[in-house]
């Protein structure tokens, strides 16, 4: 995110450093989501959180969870496709820009630096992407995600490499 304005490729050339903001939230949740956007394929209506906060040292009752976001007006003026924004006009958290022959997926604050300001008696995790965050990452890299319950495959979400199309397949036993 910090280098997005420096790319100078396709639609990113229309963005400046002033269009990218850094701030803190109490939860890194996406609002105003477009569930038809390719990055949000396979996301359920109830899912909003990109990553889990306490496991990497942030407190859920303070605006200390770091995020970067692109100003929504600037993103749309550049031609970007918005998948979701942060609360209170916080800007684009997930979206796609065209890079000419390729897409540039913008995923804000998915792997934050751990916060060691507070005592962590039980240790900290390296990263803690939520189920939604994992799905967004899989969609960004055209990956396939398989979901199991009690050791049985119940659903496949993501790209079908053999057909190069997005699919969601529920498996019944």
- For the chain, counts of helices (H) and of strands (E): 2, 8
- Per-residue pLDDT reduced to its tens digit, 124-136: 666 688 889 989 9
Do 24 and 69 lie in one domain? The reply is yes
Do 129 and 172 lie in one domain? The reply is no
Do 109 and 70 lie in one domain? The reply is yes
Question: Is residue 164 predicted with pLDDT exceeding 60?
Answer: no
Q: Is 47 left (phi over 0), alpha (psi -120 to 50) or beta?
A: beta
Do 67 and 22 lie in one domain? The reply is yes
- Per-residue pLDDT reduced to its tens digit, 58-103: 777 788 888 889 999 999 999 999 999 998 778 999 999 998 888 9
Do 31 and 103 lie in one domain? The reply is yes
Quick one: pLDDT at residue 145?
80
Do 86 and 168 lie in one domain? The reply is no
Do 98 and 132 lie in one domain? The reply is yes
Contact 100, 9 (CB under 8 A): yes
Q: What letter would DSSP give residue 11?
A: G
Do 119 and 164 lie in one domain? The reply is no
Do 12 and 43 lie in one domain? The reply is yes
Do 103 and 44 lie in one domain? The reply is yes
What residue numbers bound the domain in which 18 lies? 4-141
Provide the token pair at 123.
Answer: 């240790």
**What's the domain count of the chain?**
2
Tell me the HSE value of 15 on the side-chain side, using a 13 A CA sphere. Answer: 32
Quick one: pLDDT at residue 172?
45
Return the number of other C-beta atoms located less than 10 Å from residue 99's C-beta. Answer: 15
Mean pLDDT of 1-23: 89
Do 116 and 170 lie in one domain? The reply is no
Do 102 and 153 lie in one domain? The reply is no
Q: Give 63-117 as a DSSP string.
A: S-EEEEEE-HHHHHHTT-EEEEE-TTT--EEEEEEE-SSSEEEEETTSSPPP--S
């Amino acid at each position: 995110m910090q280098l997005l304005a420096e790319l100078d490729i396709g639609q990113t050339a229309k963005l400046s450093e002033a269009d990218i903001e850094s701030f803190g939230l109490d939860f890194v949740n996406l609002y105003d989501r477009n569930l038809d956007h390719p990055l949000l394929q396979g996301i359920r209506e109830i899912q909003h959180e990109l990553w889990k906060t306490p496991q990497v040292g942030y407190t859920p009752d303070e605006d200390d969870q770091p995020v970067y976001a692109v100003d929504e007006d600037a993103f749309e003026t550049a031609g970007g496709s918005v998948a979701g924004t942060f609360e209170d006009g916080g800007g684009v958290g997930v979206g796609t820009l065209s890079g000419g022959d390729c897409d540039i997926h913008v995923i804000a604050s998915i792997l934050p630096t751990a916060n060691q300001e507070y005592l962590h008696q039980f240790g900290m995790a390296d990263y803690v992407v939520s189920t939604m965050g994992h799905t967004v990452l899989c969609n960004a890299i055209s990956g396939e995600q398989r979901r199991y319950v009690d050791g049985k495959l119940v659903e496949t979400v993501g790209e079908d490499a053999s057909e190069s199309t997005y699919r969601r397949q529920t498996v019944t036993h």
